[in-house]
Chain A
Amino acid sequence: MSDAAVSRQLSAVNVDRSESSFAAFWKMAGWPARVSLALLAAFALAALFAPAVAPYDPAAQNRRQPHHPPMRVHLAPPGEWSEGLLYVHKTKLADIRKRRYEETEERIRLSFFKRGRVLTTADPDARLFLLGTDALGRDFFSRLVYGGRISLSIGLVGVAISYTLGILIGAFSGYVGGRADFVIMRATEILMSLPTFYFLLTLAVIIPATLPSSLTYLLIVAILSFIGWAGLARIVRGLVLSEREREYVLAARAMGASGARVLVRHVVPSTFNYAVVSATLSIPGYILGESALSFLGLGIKDPDSSWGLLLAEAQNVEYLLRFQWLLIPGLLIFLTVMAFNFLGDALRDHMDPKRRGTV
């Protein structure tokens, strides 16, 4: 980023140190931000409690029910509520090649909180496919819930890594100055001049595929963060440069506080407000990065699941036209990213009331 642009960013961020409680934020936020927060909370809870929310093991195959369409859930007539509030119709496979299923008259009763699941069938051998199944007959809803674990957390973990790096390195660089500052700034320039997407592709190839998927996942986050920290470090450095001339820092030093202590206790926290807002706004970048990599087959791999990977299945044109529930992961990515954008926007307004209603 050019120096001029950094200075613009700086002037745009008013370091407001007022107390910011959740209640105050909720009160101030408009409905888009509230809906976004609720949506993200719901997604996060579902992912967190995936084993209870997902009716089935995400890898369990129902071999004679491939590409089963989503089932319609019916409300039972009041007289039958003792047997279960909700039911679906049992289906039978009418044409294996066309993947055509026909509903039968037979009803499958659903029950809540049975066998450790929030919602599942009363009969353990019956099947409930809320959002259909994939080519191997795996319950798509369960796969989405488990996939959410990766897609949702990747942004948080990625931001945590890159912001820790960015803030610490940026603050250090700005505070110490001199040769260290020069070297760090040249390093950030190199990182920022990398053609990002190409470099990302190149990096993705070097992840050894023999690694367990949990490690692969972490490496993808690390790669994304590795590219992400540089821009932030420069901005934080700028903030620190202006901050360190402030009276309270000068006062602390005059009172004999060591350089490192001043850095950690006073200078770094002063950049937090900026960081919270920009972190919220940069989470979508990580989510999109992961889904793009997985979509291209360079990220998370089957049998694990992530939204990007699940969407890759929909690249098949026929699936797009006939099994449209396979597009749901795209919708979920879209909704999540939008929610983070709304939330970040509202947070910025909240932290910096002067700018409310601007960018």
Chain B
Amino acid sequence: MGRYVLRRLVNAVPLIIGITFISFVVVDLAPGDFFTSLKMNPQISPETLQGMEAKYGFDKPLVVRFFLWFWRVLHLDLGESIFYHVDVLSLIGRFLPNTVILSAAAMVVSWGLAVPLGLFMALRPGTWADRLLSFFAFMGMSIPSFFFALLLLIFALQTGWFPTGGSFSPDYDTLSLAGKVWDRVHHLILPVVVLGTSGVAGLMRLMRGNVMEIMNADYVRTARAKGLPERVVVFKHILRNAINPFITIAGYELGALFGGAALVEAVLHLQGMGNLMLQAVLSQDLFLLMGSILIGAVLLIVGNLLADIALKFADPRIRYE
């Protein structure tokens, strides 16, 4: 086990170099850079611009720049955002928590609903409830998140029941503790509904499928034949086995946490990594862009590793060489 983890970690190094290098090349291929837009400012002279370009190392060849950057990354220095004039790491540190809170909330909600609903459907296959839920699952999987977010925005606008964006109110600091919690939750509802819907839909179907497959397994039949109470069969034999694949998914979601919310953040005006990244892309803020991609990749790799390890604990049949 220890060796397995070690091997995976060693493997991760070339992986990260590969990912970041590809991204670096791609960003470089884009026409212009951050300074291009400054050229249209009548008050900035070409000399000033050249000075700035040299300061940020934009006058060196691509490979040199990449390794200069990577060398600093090894020292936990992600560089300075050209756009914000701030250390990239601290910038990400400010935006990441909102995305993490949002995604975690969406994950809790979608798991909390999907597991019991999926189980319920599988235990009553073919009934109208099963069909109805299946149909909703299909709808939830099919609705484009940005379209759904737009529809909810109209809803919020028409009813006034929900705040129309942001992560908390401007007078957040003056609220009591309970008020703060409610304020946060209130702002989270709409984005969580959007993000959670697709999550619930997919997971619910997966759960239903898993349960149905397991119900046909020999050990379940044996358990039933032994005359174990149905409750024990369902919760002890079926549920525990059906949940295994979800552990793997949880790992992936750690990475998806990071990116999946981006569109929703854009439409509902939330201050997370998605909007930060979009801004970085549009302004071609190299270091911010690279920093975000790096963090995203690290989260994804770590997530996968954690999932595989967790799966091993949950399912002793799985062995790693």
Contact = CB atoms under 8 A, between A and B. Distances in A.
Interface of A: 2, 4-5, 8, 32, 186-187, 189-190, 193-199, 201-203, 205-206, 208, 284, 288, 291-292, 295-296, 311, 314-315, 317, 320-321, 327, 330, 333-335, 337-338, 341-342, 345, 355, 357-359
Contacts of A358: 208-209, 212-213
A357 B262 contact: no
Contacts, number: 146
B184 to A, nearest CB: 25
Contacts of A317: 153, 157
Given A2-B304, A202-B289, A341-B138, A190 B22 contact: yes
Interface in B16-59: 18-19, 22-23, 26-27, 29-31
B293 interface: yes
Contacts of A193: 15, 19, 255, 297, 300-301, 304
Given A2-B308, A194-B297, A357-B125, A202 B23 contact: yes
Contacts of B138: 32, 338, 341-342, 345
B142 A202 contact: no
Given A187-B18, A317-B153, A358-B209, 6 more contacts: A195-B255, A195-B258, A198-B296, A202-B23, A206-B30, A358-B208
Nearest to A331: B147
Instruction: Classify the interface of chain A: helix, strand, loop or mixed.
Output: helix
Interface string B260-299: 1011001100000010011001101000010011001100
Contact of A292 (B14, B263, B281, B284): B263
A292 B23 contact: no
B150 A320 contact: yes
Nearest to A314: B150
Contacts of B248: 2, 4-5
Interface residues on B, range: 35 or more
A288 B144 CA distance: 7
Contacts of B126: 357
A338 B15 contact: no
A284 B144 CA distance: 10
A291 B150 CA distance: 14
A333 B147 contact: yes
